[in-house]
Amino acid sequence: DLATALNNRGQIKYLRVEFAAAMEDYTAAIECQPSFEVPYYNRGLVLYRLGCFDEAMKDFRKVLELNPQFEDAALSLKQALLDKEEKQKRGY
């Protein structure tokens, strides 16, 4: 389906380190199928890598709302929270 295709295209762009383009595809996949948790997770990973911890945590929380068994999202949420706290401690 279209949401899966957009998510997969986003993955290719992510692997090419084309983060802005990947996020566009993940967002399009979400708009196409809001109940599909995978593009939220993938977009969260890009946001995390860009240091946008609050936005990343929002996406990871949405994944867990849609699928409470998504263990990677739970781990990523925990790591983003830790990294945000560390960043704040260092005054960045």
The residue segments making up the domain with residue 43 are 2-90
How many angstroms separate the CA atoms of 39 and 44, rounded? Answer: 8
DSSP 3-state of 43: helix
CATH number, domain of 64, equals: 1.25.40.10
pLDDT in tens, 42-81: 999 999 999 999 999 999 999 999 999 999 999 999 999 9
Domain count, the chain: 1
pLDDT of 92 above 80: no
The candidate with the shortest Cα–Cα distance to 53, out of 90, 78, 25, 28, is 78
